[in-house]
Structure 1
Amino acid sequence: MAGMKNWLKWNVAVSLIGLLIAQESCAPDPGEALNDRKRRENEEEIKAYIAQESLPAAKDDVTGLYLAKTKTVPTGQTPVVGDEVRFYFVQRRLDGVIVDSSETFAKKPSVVTIGAPLQGTITARLYTGLQLLKEGEEGIVLAPYDPTDNKSGNLLLPAYTPVRYDITVVSVRTEEEQIQDYLVAKGLTAAEKTASGLRFLLTKAYPDSALVKVGQSVKIKYKGTLLNGNQFDANADGADFNIGTGAVIAAWDEALVKMREGEKATIVLPSTIGYGQLGKAPIPPYASLAFDIEVVSAK
C-alpha cells in the first residue's frame, strides 16, 4: 500500500514537471525584447499569409519587407532622394479589413518626396515600400510592425499588426523633370536656363533704366508659389533686400542682377538655389519654386 502511494506521488511529480517544461517551451523568451518578439511573430503571420494567398512574394533583405510585383516595368524610373513620387495605395490588415487608401476613384494620387520628412502624412512602412517599385509598376507589400510607424496603435490598426499595401506608382519625377513639366504647362518654355538650373524670363522690359548691381539695396514686389500652384509668400507693396550678400536665396541674387529698375520677370528654380534639402516652413524640402518679381528701385 505504501509502495502504491509512493508511485502515485512520483507519477504526479513527473506530470507536473512535464507540464512546467511544456509551459516554458511555449512561453516567450524572457530575454527577448518585446519589439523583437512581435516582429518575429509578424514574420510568421506574413509567411502563413503568403502561403494562404499563393503570393509570389520575396523578402527584401535590406528593408525586411515582402514584395510581390503584380506589374513590372524594367525600364521604369527608380525613385531616389529628391524625387517626387505620385502613387495610389490601399492598406489592409491581413484579415482583409481596409485601414486606409488614397483617393483612387477621384484620381487624386498621393504625393511624397523621397528624402523629405514624412510629417505624419505617410506611414514609414508605405514610404519604404514605395522605394521598392519603379515608375509604372504595381505591387503588394507585406510589412511587419515598425516601431517608427506613426499611424498604428489605434482601434482600426492596433500596435504590432502586420499590414498589406497594394501600391501603384503613377510617376517618379526628378526636380528637373518637375520644372520642365511646369514650364510647358505655364507656357514658359522660352525662359533662359543658366548653369545653376535657374529659369529666367523677362516679362516686362525697361532697357533704358539702370541694371541692378551687387551690393545695392533693392525694393522688390514678389509672389512665390510651389510648382503645384500653392502660394507660400507675397509682397505687393515691396520689400527691401541687399543683393549679393546672402540676404536672399541664391536664385534671387542671380536673377536680380539680370534686371533693371521697373522690370518684371518670372523665375523658376531648383531647390539647390532655393531652400535646399531641408526647406523652410511652409516650403517643403527639395521644393522647386516659381516667383514673379518686380524691381521697384535699386540704390
Structure 2
Amino acid sequence: MTKFLKPTLGLALATSLLFSCDNFKVTQESDGSKYQIHEGGDGKVKPKEGDLVTFDLVIKAPNDTVFTDTYKRKEPITMPVQKGQFKGDFINTITHLSVGDSATIYVSADSLFMRAQQPLPPGVSKGSDMRFIVKVRNIQTMAQFQKAQEEKKNNELQLMDNFAKKNFPNATKTQYGIYRVVVKEGTGATIIAGNTVKVAYTGKLMNGTIFDSSVGKQPIEFPVGQGAVIPGWEQALMMMKKGEKNIVFIPSNLAYGEQGSGPIPPFSPLIFEMEVIDVK
C-alpha cells in the first residue's frame, strides 16, 4: 500500500498547487483593467454601459489602510455603469465581472488621485495600486431597476403596517402615516414651529441597521418648522414635549423618498428613537 500512497499524495498536492496558483492569477485586459478573481460567480451576465451594478466594496491602500468598507455599514453600493475616466478605472474593470464574483481590482493610485486633483494620501506611494475588493451582488438593466423600485414604493405602506403590528403593537398612527410610541412622557407645552429643540436620537433601517446616532456625541439643536430636518421629524416633534422620548416609524415620503441618502436606500421607511432634551 505504501508504494501507491506517495504518488497519490503527490498528485493531490500538485492539483492543490495548480488551483492555488489560479486563485492568485492577476488578469490584465486591453482596456487597462487589472484584477484577481478570488471566487467565481455564475458567469452568465456581465454589466454593460447603462446597467446598474450592486456590490459590496472594501478599498485598501498598499499599507492596508481601509478607505471604504460597505460591510460595516451593512449596505452595498448600487451604481450605474458608465465609461471610466482613465485607463484601468474601477468602473471599467467591473464590466469584466459577473454576479457572485469576488475579486480584487487594482487601480493606479496616481491616476485615481490625480484625476480628483488630490495629493497622494499617507501610506500611498507614487506608482502603487489601490485595492478595490469587490463582491458583485446584482446586475440590472435600468428598466429592471425602475420596476423593482416601483414595486418597493407600492408595497411600502403594507410593509410598514405589517412591521408596526409585529414590532410596535401599541403604536398610534397619524394622518400622515407616522407610527408613534410614547416611551416616556414629557412635561410643559407641546413643541410648536419656532421653538428651538435639542434632541438625542438613533436612526435605524427596518433591518435593524443603525445609520446615524447622537450616542456618544452631542444632541443636535435646531429650530422647528424651518426645514432643518426631514418632514417626518418636524411632524413627530410637534407632537412631543420637553423630556419626552418616542419611537417613531416614518414613511419614506416624509424622509428621503425615491432618492435615498448615503446608507439609506430609496423608498426606505425609517425608525427613530428620539428624546427631547430641551425646548427654547
TM-score range, shorter chain: 0.3 to 0.5
| TM-score, scaled to structure 1 | 0.44
Max Rg structure: 1
What's the TM-score once normalised by structure 2's chain length? 0.47
